[in-house]
């Protein structure tokens, strides 16, 4: 130990190399470990996590829906073919915090906000959104993101420590950026899986594309991006 405490350039390089190898190895193993954790996690536990997360949001950020009951019933009825084998429930809520949004909680339920329904207008387009969210649940994307984020957080704590510091802030930004990249990948996977879900239910899979086009067009209205993203030819 006394010999190791004596600094030399050689020892510094060796220890630095060991640390780099450890970080790279741990970083590479996080997605593998996360996928394994998802596989061994019982679906009952996943559903409990999703239900608790929804109830927490419901108590703090969600309000009762202002949508007419006939509108809610129409959306549920049109979504029935893709919901009947999934045992997933749709929850309609009003939320100033989430705006026009749809969220799939681990194992369900699916949250659809009033703003999203009003923005899309057409019930068929909302069915496309529901298929996308069901794909997230079937592929267990939320649970994967949770485990990946936890693993990355553990790695950051090991390397930078748990004390408040600039390095900790930097590591937090890195984890957020990585989580966003995982989220973008999950969105693409969900879009592709949703087309299969709609096909299996004899529903036109182009509903997903139509819903995305409508969301983009209406989001861009009145902004500097309107001229660029409003051109449907690129779709």
Percent of the chain at pLDDT above 70?
Answer: 80
Residue 165: CB partners within 8 Å, gap ≥ 6? none
Residue 213: strand, helix, or coil: helix
Structure tokens belonging to residue 99? 């705006």
111-135: pLDDT as tens digits:
999 999 999 988 899 999 999 999 9
Give, in order, the Cα–Cα distances in Å from 204 to each of 79, 138, 196: 13, 20, 10
Q: Taking all residues of the chain, what is their mean pLDDT, rounded to a whole number?
A: 83
33-46: pLDDT as tens digits:
888 889 999 999 99
Per-residue pLDDT band at 107 (split at 50, 70, 90): very high
Structure tokens belonging to residue 36? 């394994």
pLDDT surpasses 80 at 104: yes
pLDDT surpasses 50 at 218: yes
Per-residue pLDDT band at 62 (split at 50, 70, 90): very high
Residue showing tokens 């906000």: 113
What is the pTM for the complete model shown? 0.78
């Amino acid at each position: 130990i006394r010999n190791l405490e004596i600094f030399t350039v050689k020892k510094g390089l060796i220890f630095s190399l060991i640390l780099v190898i450890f970080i790279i190895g741990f970083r590479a193993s996080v997605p593998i470990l996360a996928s394994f954790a998802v596989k061994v996690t019982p679906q009952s536990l996943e559903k409990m996590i999703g239900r608790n997360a929804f109830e927490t949001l419901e108590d703090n950020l969600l309000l009762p829906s202002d949508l007419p009951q006939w509108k809610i019933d129409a959306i549920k009825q049109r979504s029935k073919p893709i919901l009947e084998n999934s045992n997933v429930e749709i929850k309609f809520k009003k939320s100033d915090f989430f705006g026009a949004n749809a969220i799939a909680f681990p194992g369900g339920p699916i949250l659809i906000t009033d703003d999203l329904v009003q923005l899309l207008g057409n019930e068929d387009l909302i069915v496309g959104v529901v298929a996308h969210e069901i794909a997230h649940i079937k592929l267990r994307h939320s649970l994967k993101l949770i485990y990946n984020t936890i693993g990355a957080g553990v790695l950051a704590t090991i390397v930078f420590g748990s004390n408040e510091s600039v390095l900790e802030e930097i590591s937090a930004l890195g984890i957020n950026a990585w989580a966003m990249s995982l989220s973008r990948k999950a969105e693409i996977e969900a879009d592709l899986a949703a087309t299969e879900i709609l096909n299996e239910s004899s529903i036109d899979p182009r509903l997903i594309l139509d819903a995305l086009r409508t969301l983009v067009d209406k989001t861009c209205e009145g902004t500097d991006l309107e001229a660029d993203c409003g051109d449907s030819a690129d779709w």
